[in-house]
């Protein structure tokens, strides 16, 4: 009897297993469940930051320090925002605000997403804090955490740059973003394809008590970078002024979308913000017409005035002669 009772109980639980495995987030703004360990105190160096979704499925060099399932859970975003990696759960916004952000991204989706690779070309990494090394001793070529800095394409990690990496916040942020861009964009078809990486730091570095928010933008396309500098500066100012993170991300998405649109419309060439040639020609024509009008007016007025003066002189002479004759007679 107990055997059949157990079998009946298992038959009731068996359908529930499929219900548990089904995603309960359909239509909601949650894509992955939170990891078992809290992420508020997790810090990664640029070389040990795991290859997160969707880039780990695209790159051929699958080098992670965690299992892929754990990597997927690191970026706690929603299905409509695959370009955002929120490491420390800083993006706390309502469904309405997230929908506004999704619509801003959808407006530029053709430019910010590579359909051929099913991968975004505009990525935002949001972290509360980053741990900057306090000594250059740990920054060596054989280091697990910072060894990849010496393998950057530009090869800029000299002894002087190592010192700046430890002491300068800007250099640390720039190289951090540079390394992640190289690791997360290995799957690209061409090196000069536009790829923009944004690192949003909300509470500064652990070694800096000022807790200054900042936005660091990096791209390996030298033509695209000047178009994105303004977006970086404006969004940094918005963060320091106390604006909400979701509003800053909406503004950032629109600015990057318009910048990449200009990049494609100009075929990678910078816009020439100068007076066009036709404007110079029109200005010369207008100046010539003005000079001609002045000369013509001067000539006509002078001729009329000269003729009038001669008439006055002739009439005056006749009246003088007439008056003298009248006196004589």
pLDDT above 90 for 145: no
Q: In this structure, are residues 102 and 36 in contact, taking their beta carbons and an 8 Å threshold?
A: no
Least confident piece of the model among 11-15, 30-34, 118-122: 30-34
* pLDDT tens, position by position, 234-253: 999 999 898 999 999 999 99
Residue 270 has pLDDT above 60, yes or no: yes
pLDDT in tens, 105-130: 889 888 887 776 667 788 888 888 88
pLDDT for res 328: 52
**Beta-bridge partners for 217:** 198
Percent of the chain past pLDDT 90, that is, above it, reads 8
- Residue 221 phi, psi dihedral angles, 5° rounding: -95, 110
In sequence order, which residues have a C-beta less than 8 Å from that of residue 33 and are 6 or more positions away? 73
Measured CA to CA in angstroms, residue 71 lies from 49, 64, 214 at distances of 10, 8, 25
Q: Give all strands (DSSP E) within 80-220, no chain letters.
A: 84-86, 113-114, 119-120, 122-127, 196-201, 214-218
Q: Is 58 helix (H, G, I), strand (E, B) or coil?
A: coil
State the average pLDDT over residues 53-65. 46
pLDDT at 247: 92
Higher pLDDT, 251 or 34: 251
Whether 169 shows a pLDDT value over 80: the answer reads: yes
| Rounded distance between C-alpha atoms, residue 214 and residue 34, angstroms | 26
For range 208-226, the mean pLDDT: 83
* CA pair distance 42, 74, nearest whole angstrom: 10
**Residue percentage of the chain with pLDDT more than 70:** 64
Q: What is the mean pLDDT of the chain?
A: 73
């Amino acid at each position: 009897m107990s055997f059949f009772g157990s079998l009946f109980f298992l038959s009731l639980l068996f359908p529930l297993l499929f219900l548990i495995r089904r995603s309960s987030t359909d239509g909601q703004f949650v894509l992955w469940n939170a990891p078992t360990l809290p992420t508020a105190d997790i810090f990664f160096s640029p070389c040990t930051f795991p290859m997160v979704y969707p880039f780990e499925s695209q790159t051929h060099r699958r080098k992670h320090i965690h299992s892929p399932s754990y990597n997927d859970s690191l970026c706690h975003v929603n299905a409509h925002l695959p370009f955002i990696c929120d490491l420390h759960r800083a993006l706390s916004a309502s469904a309405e605000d997230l929908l506004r952000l999704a619509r801003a991204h959808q407006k530029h989706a053709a430019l910010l997403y590579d359909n051929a690779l099913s991968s975004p070309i505009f990525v935002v990494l949001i972290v509360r804090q980053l741990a900057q090394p306090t000594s250059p001793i740990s920054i060596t070529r054989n280091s697990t955490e910072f060894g990849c800095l010496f393998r950057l394409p530009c090869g800029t990690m000299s002894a002087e740059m190592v010192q700046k990496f430890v002491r300068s916040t800007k250099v640390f942020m720039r190289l951090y973003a540079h390394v992640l861009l190289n690791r997360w964009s290995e799957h690209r078809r061409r090196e000069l394809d536009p790829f923009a990486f944004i690192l949003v730091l909300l509470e500064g570095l652990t070694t800096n008590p000022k807790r200054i928010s900042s936005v660091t933008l990096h791209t390996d396309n030298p033509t695209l970078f000047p178009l994105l500098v303004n977006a970086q500066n404006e969004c940094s100012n918005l963060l320091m002024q106390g604006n909400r993170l979701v509003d800053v991300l909406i503004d950032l998405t629109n600015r990057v979308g318009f910048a990449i649109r200009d990049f494609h419309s100009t075929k990678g060439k910078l816009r020439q913000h100068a007076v066009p040639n036709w404007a110079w020609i029109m200005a010369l024509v207008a100046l010539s017409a003005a000079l001609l009008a002045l000369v013509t007016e001067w000539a006509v007025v002078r001729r009329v005035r000269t003729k009038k003066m001669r008439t006055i002189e002739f009439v005056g002479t006749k009246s003088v002669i007439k008056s003298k004759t009248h006196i004589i007679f």
